[in-house]
Structure 1
């Protein structure tokens, strides 16, 4: 029963609306609101991820690895003393793609005892870091429903249900983009619950993928072995309290299929619904099953999906240009997630992540709070923030997620492919349903990124780097049609497929060109910034004349300086103004700015991370 022995994080439960293909809709909809995350007292685990320092015996010797862990268990003063510590009998399970080791204990530890063990491991000079093999969850809520030149798909449910593509207020402007790009030639990995490969509306759009769940109870496969393919065996839970104390029984979600549908469901084929990048290929990667999925499995999935090496797994023949992760858990970004994400980005893969559904600051939601990801908040059909969306400086932009029952059916939900079964896939047929959550927002952004990269390639342009693609998506996002409260920021706006493509295909400047810079939006912080000592990143801001302009950095660790010039790129010796105090709290103010572009250079005086930058005028 290993799935009950792992740390349960951020339970994001939901309810689902389903409509069987060709059937009448139910008369009385059932809706459920998202559950709150499990408390620390409800969370337990029997897995620890340990990265040993290079050059130590433990880095290469299995016995030395276990000796370090046993020593930490002995020092941790666990209930039951040395006998309890000895009974835990740690085992090295495997080495992750990021180079850390997964260690399994023979019985689970409560949160307080687990933190003692981690503290002792971190104090050992042979250990670079130690992290709980945490349990992550999908980030959705569900419900059960009632029934120009622009391409207007002939998919029968498109016009009535998929407002999130076409609504001028709450949608992403997809129809205007489809005349330019449909995502051909791009691979989007959906790291999730897997896929229903026989669904009627994915014809030709699916690659084989892989199942990374390494626990048979979670996966519902016969063994713990990881296997090719990513069939969703169902993530239903039979009984209350089965995943952790206080957890509830629930039906299978078919979450990965729904998310993949937003990315690339077959379109204009006279069947079901439409997808955004409907000529892209989806690479399904299964990491979530019954009661969620483990951090170790997710980290390996990120590595493999982006073309990295994972021991014992065949090389990925179709590395993804974009990864979507509509999943997460509570807590600060850990070294395991960050190492896997950094590896993916270094291989040229954009990582798009749901911001989470706790209605709190994204600083407590991983991996959305990690560096080098595009964190996506959720908006309603009105274009306003949803009641559940996480918020904060680390949210980059937003996309439709559905406001739930407050906006009714179909406008309260995002609609895509599912199964009619409430348990196993073989007991159901191809179906379509409405879900809500930042899980649903994230694939809209991933799919628009696929449209952009496809268009660049088709027009003989270089594909964007992950940083360039993130900057483009943020700078071209449509301004929110309603005011987002200052206390709950959710990025630069709503992702806009047409605007992103127009910017991506602009004629490139060849003479008298201004510097290339990442645009800032007034009063919208850019968070999670990191860099090495000596690194430089250039930003720009379009200022009005005469109104006080303030440029500020804050938060995080390390030391940065800020140099600013109007109309040209500043340097450390030539600038209009600067702020170079020790640390990260820098302020540059112009009391009487002129109209035009101000260029802001952020310089790492030493390595820094978690820094935010904002322009206020």
Structure 2
């Protein structure tokens, strides 16, 4: 439905008398509405929401296409739309673009939302989406036209080992096995304890979860969310009575049996199901509160989750997902407030089959240029090819592993996968699931139940690559907390070079090696680096390899070290990684050279001093520790000179007068006396 501001109505309707009459009637209706605040009563609001939902449900029969206009065409110049334009004005401009194209291609087009720069959604009746895309792609103004497909959450596996189990139970007995250090039983465990020794995540680290929205009040996620956004532009899919808004809360995504069986209905063929609370499950894996005495541990518990709602009943459209990706990375979107807390990591546990469309490639190019890492689930179609968006260039596609390190049956595979991580598996065909992933949930089967906050367990098991992906996304958050300067390329390289090798034994005797994907399913198989990525995630090794070590510098501040005098040294010019601070200094005397036995000052400050007793060479060392506990050391060799020997003073004859002038007079007098004596000796002696 096309919406206009009061001031945009008349120009949009044209100059005909009939159009003018319609404008006057519409203007009168709008003025009457503004004069009657009682129309905003609850019952009317609910009826409006119901009408909006019905209208959007009816739109399901329309073909939906994402188009991108070529840069510099007359159409984009005269009808330019950017993020600074008011939403109402933007809708009018987008529809006017659609009207121009309608006359060119001979199809009545209705505009949807803008998608990134020069992109928008177009809808039409009477033909398929594929046919509409083909027709629009021929127009010289259009760079490309693609079907606006629906992507779905990837949490429900097709693995035959997926256990339905009883409805009352607990467990699993092994707890969060997938976070622990790997051992002979849990070969694929992600080795988080070693990573946590370095960081639990920076409070400034933001991970966007593009999913079904979140349960705001779950006790294990209190204080973990930032202000997000709901990007669903179809009220029937949104299921919350409206379209896009600033509330990413999850109202539930249940599908009733009647909706599923209603031929021609919006949700026909979606499959009857209870609400999944999928977004909350994913968010809890990444950042559930830790050490709070309740529930589960999150991977990056000090990081923050940016909840971005893109999935509702039966999934979500590509156009909404792509707009959310732009916004999450801090790239403005028309009609949406700017994102005050852009993400460094985006997790997308969603997708469907097919090759990567150009529109996703455009988004990934823009998002990656902002330094944002995008992590996505490979898919759960039992060993078929990796789906979209995980198969798009630049995305870290994540495969799923069983506890013993083999590919779990439901996980898709192929060369697009960067790395694999635990996806949960049950082993048994009946009874409680043995190795699921623990996630945060609500007990409501449709809407959320007040106080009904709980966790998945062995009888209500969570398994799927939807949960492999956030294990990696959480690890990436730790890596980028340890080193904020990492680029998406750096992250991929480190994850792959630190990954542990896949096992080649340990499963049933008939377990085969994984093969490249075809149209035939592959269940459990031994992974290779061409089918499941570089190896098994090792979070501890990845974080360790990400850390920028301090650069320790030990320098001499005493100009000429001399025995008997204090010698001063400093480490004040040492440096630590970006975003880090020096936590401690530690000075040690590596070699006293026989002239020093220790420091004369404290050894835990930036400066220190020692007092050498003689000449020699002294070696000191300083160790600098940053606030992540990462250390670096530096040695300094100091040559100490002997103490200078005082000069022997020249003896000075004493005299009563003192001073140099009197000494000369005294010498002259002495000379004169000697002369007189010689003179007398030359005279003849006289007789008595």
Common fold, TM-score beyond 0.5?
Answer: yes
3-state SS in 2 of match to 1:324: strand
Q: Structure 2: how far apart are the matches of 1:201 and 1:215? A: 31
Q: Counterparts in 2 of 1:583-594, with a 5 A limit?
A: none
Give the CA deviation at 1:70: 5.0
Distance 1:266 1:222, change over 3 A: same
Equivalent residue for 2:380, pick from 324, 337, 357: 357
Equivalent residue for 2:464, pick from 437, 441, 446: 437
Aligned to 1:13: none
Equivalent residue for 2:363, pick from 323, 333, 340: 340
3-state SS in 2 of match to 1:312: coil
Distance 1:5 1:356, change over 3 A: farther
3-state SS in 1 of match to 2:68: strand
Aligned to 1:227: 245
Structure 1: unaligned runs, 5 residues or longer: 8-43, 75-84, 148-155, 458-462, 511-617
Aligned to 1:52: 69
3-state SS in 2 of match to 1:285: strand
3-state SS in 1 of match to 2:347: strand
3-state SS in 2 of match to 1:51: strand
Give the CA deviation at 1:279: 0.9
Residues 327-378 of structure 1, C-alpha deviation per residue, up to 9 Å, x if partnerless? 0122111122121122111111000010111124435x11111001100000
Distance 1:45 1:389, change over 3 A: farther
Aligned to 1:91: 110
Equivalent residue for 2:201, pick from 171, 183, 204: 183
Distance 1:305 1:506, change over 3 A: closer
Q: Structure 1: how far apart are the matches of 2:226 and 2:364? A: 22
Give the CA deviation at 1:403: 2.4
Q: Structure 2: how far apart are the matches of 1:305 and 1:129? A: 24
1:487 aligns with 2:495: no
Give the CA deviation at 1:495: 1.1
Q: Do the aligned residues in 2 keep the contact of 1:375 with 1:397 (CA within 8 Å)?
A: yes
Q: Do the aligned residues in 1 keep the contact of 2:211 with 2:310 (CA within 8 Å)?
A: yes
Residues paired across the two proteins, number = 441
Structure 2: unaligned runs, 5 residues or longer: 1-53, 80-92, 158-163, 506-511, 517-530, 553-688
Aligned to 1:310: 333
Q: Which has the higher strand share?
A: 1
Moved more, 138-147 or 490-499: 138-147
Give the CA deviation at 1:48: 1.2
Distance 1:127 1:509, change over 3 A: farther
Distance 1:5 1:127, change over 3 A: farther
Distance 1:158 1:173, change over 3 A: farther
Q: Structure 1: how far apart are the matches of 2:172 and 2:302? A: 17
Q: Counterparts in 2 of 1:556-567, with a 5 A limit?
A: none
Give the CA deviation at 1:144: 5.5
1:448 aligns with 2:475: yes
Distance 1:476 1:341, change over 3 A: same
Q: Do the aligned residues in 2 keep the contact of 1:382 with 1:482 (CA within 8 Å)?
A: no
State the TM-score, normalizing by the size of structure 2. 0.61
Q: Structure 1: how far apart are the matches of 2:372 and 2:126? A: 36
Aligned to 1:602: none
Give the CA deviation at 1:221: 2.0
Q: Structure 2: how far apart are the matches of 1:3 and 1:381? A: 44
Q: Do the aligned residues in 2 keep the contact of 1:414 with 1:435 (CA within 8 Å)?
A: yes
Equivalent residue for 2:280, pick from 253, 257, 265: 257
Q: Structure 1: how far apart are the matches of 2:199 and 2:104? A: 58
Moved more, 302-311 or 156-165: 156-165
Aligned to 1:594: none
Equivalent residue for 1:399, pick from 416, 421, 431: 421
3-state SS in 2 of match to 1:49: strand
3-state SS in 1 of match to 2:135: helix
Q: Structure 2: how far apart are the matches of 1:176 and 1:158? A: 23
1:164 aligns with 2:191: no
Distance 1:351 1:202, change over 3 A: same
Q: Do the aligned residues in 1 keep the contact of 2:65 with 2:132 (CA within 8 Å)?
A: no
Aligned to 1:498: 540
Q: Do the aligned residues in 1 keep the contact of 2:114 with 2:120 (CA within 8 Å)?
A: yes
Give the CA deviation at 1:94: 2.7
Give the CA deviation at 1:309: 0.4
Aligned to 1:280: 303
